Chains A and B, each alone.
Chain A
Amino acid sequence: NAGVTQTPKFQVLKTGQSMTLQCAQDMNHEYMSWYRQDPGMGLRLIHYSVGAGITDQGEVPNGYNVSRSTTEDFPLRLLSAAPSQTSVYFCASRNRPSEQFFGPGTRLTVL
C-alpha cells in the first residue's frame, strides 16, 4: 500500500493564480481531510469528507474548494491564491474512529 500520497511536494504561485493540490489514498478509508500547518498554530482543518460525494467545511475553509468524486481522491483547489495561503498542506485519511494517516505534505509559497 502506498498509503496517502500528495502532489506536488513544493509549489510557488503568484497572487491570483489558481491550482489544485492532489491527494489520494489506497486504504479504502471513508474519511479524508485537508489541514494546513503554520508555525505556532498546529494543524487547522480546512475541509473534510466522510465519503464520496460528501464534503464539509472545517475551521479555515475560506479560499479553498474540495470535491470527492471517488473514495480514493480528495483534491484541494485554491481559486485565487493569496500570500496568506502560504503554508504546508497535509492530506489525511482514516476510518472512524481510528487514527489518521497523513500524506507527506505540500509546501506552498504564494508571492
Chain B
Amino acid sequence: GDSVTQMEGPVTLSEEACLTINCTYTATGYPSLFWYVQYPGEGLQLLLKATKADDKGSNKGFEATYRKETTSFHLEKGSVQVSDSAVYFCALSIGNDMRFGAGTRLTVKP
C-alpha cells in the first residue's frame, strides 16, 4: 500500500546550520506530497506542499522538491533558527487517503 518513510530522529543542530530531513514514498498512483510541522503542544500545520513531479514547495525558508524518479520529497533549509525546533512530518495524499511518516524531531541550539 501507499506509505511514507522519513529519516528517524532526533536531529540536533546548532543555529545557522543546514538542515535536510529525508523522505521517500511508495504509491501506486500520483500522490500530492506535504510537509507538516508540529510545535510543542499544538496540532499539525502545513509547512509546504507539491502536487506533481518536479514541483518545488517552499515556505519560511524551507524547501522540498517532488522527485518522481527517486520517489523522494526531502525537506531542506539553509540556515535553521531556534524557533524551527519542532517535529516534522512528511505525508502523501491520494484521493481520500492521506499517509504520514513517523515524524522527525528537530532541536536547534543557540
**Does A99 contact B46, Cβ atoms closer than 8 Å?**
yes
Near B by CB (< 8 A), chain A positions 26-48 give: 31, 33, 35, 40-43, 45, 48
CA of A40 to CA of B6, assembled, Å? 11
User: In this assembly, does B69 line the interface, its C-beta being within 8 Å of a C-beta of chain A?
Assistant: no
**Does A90 contact B102, Cβ atoms closer than 8 Å?**
no
Number of residues from B at the complex interface, CB < 8 A: 19
- Which residue of B42, B46, B96, B103 contacts A42 across the interface (Cβ within 8 Å)? B103
CB distance from A46 to the nearest CB of B (A): 13
Chain B residue contacts of A92, Cβ below 8 A: 44
Q: List 8 A-B contacts (CB under 8 A).
A: A42-B100, A43-B44, A43-B89, A48-B96, A50-B96, A90-B43, A104-B43, A105-B43
Which residues of B pack against A, CB within 8 Å? 32, 34, 36, 42-46, 49, 51, 89, 93, 95-96, 98, 100-103
Which residues of A pack against B, CB within 8 Å? 4, 31, 33, 35, 40-43, 45, 48, 50, 90, 92, 96-97, 99-100, 102-105
